[in-house]
Amino acid sequence: DAKTTQPTSMDCAEGRAANLPCNHSTISGNEYVYWYRQIHSQGPQYIIHGLKNNETNEMASLIITEDRKSSTLILPHATLRDTAVYYCIVRDGYSGGGADGLTFGKGTHLIIQP
Amino acid sequence: GAGVSQSPRYKVAKRGQDVALRCDPISGHVSLFWYQQALGQGPEFLTYFQNEAQLDKSGLPSDRFFAERPEGSVSTLKIQRTQQEDSAVYLCASSFDKISYEQYFGPGTRLTVT
């Protein structure tokens, strides 16, 4: 019962902005949108999360549509090291975040081209 | 500081053998999670601990899988009578407390059952 839909793969040129879309049309009011990424042979790494406002940190920006049915993760200046599988995850915030396991889908394989 | 560590990094077991996989979470982290990642798939939640209490084991695929965290720090995932379908990467993650939004993942243990 996947809560999110992401493209299987995407390419982006090095130095350009990478925009990764995610659809979560059944998201409920207390659910957050999280993004993690997994570089080959490593464990997943947290990137960013948000509820309804756009968020930015040192790694990326998260743009959530007003109806919250979709979002976009933006890597402003992609490098070769950003090649990874990116997972968009919807998660209930009521429990406080850390108490629940994450439900990963298959994610988007982002390939940064030199 | 030190991140989440897991050992062994690789394990080959013959079908029917028992295996034990170890996770050392970040010091002081209250919450600990185990995930299973099959080849080409996203991680799937197995079980969750808050300190030494196992609060959720809904993701454990069978009664051959057992996890413990007796002193609220190091955790062990044990698989009895391994089967070929148990071949996967087993990931451990920890978070500071139950209201933390970020889970920190270890590098995983790749289990191959022959």
CA distance B103 to B35: 12
Mean pLDDT throughout B23-30? 95
> Which of B42, B47, B106 is nearest residue A107 as measured by Cβ atoms?
B42
Note whether B42 contacts A95, CB cutoff 8 Å: no
> In which element (H, E) is residue B112 found?
strand B109-113
Q: What's residue A91's pLDDT?
A: 86
Q: What's residue B6's pLDDT?
A: 98
Phi, psi of B30 (to 5 degrees): -85, -40
Q: Which segments within A1-114 are labelled E, that is strand?
A: 9-13, 18-23, 31-38, 45-50, 55-56, 61-64, 70-75, 84-92, 108-113
Q: What's residue A98's pLDDT?
A: 47
Note whether A98 contacts B105, CB cutoff 8 Å: no
Tell me: pLDDT of A21 over 70: yes
Note whether B98 contacts A98, CB cutoff 8 Å: yes
Q: What's residue B101's pLDDT?
A: 76
Task: Say which DSSP state A80 is in.
Answer: G
Note whether A44 contacts B102, CB cutoff 8 Å: no
Q: Which residues of A touch B106 (CB under 8 A)?
A: 43
Radius of gyration of chain B (CA): 13
Mean pLDDT throughout A34-39? 97
Mean pLDDT throughout A23-40? 93
Q: What's residue A29's pLDDT?
A: 86
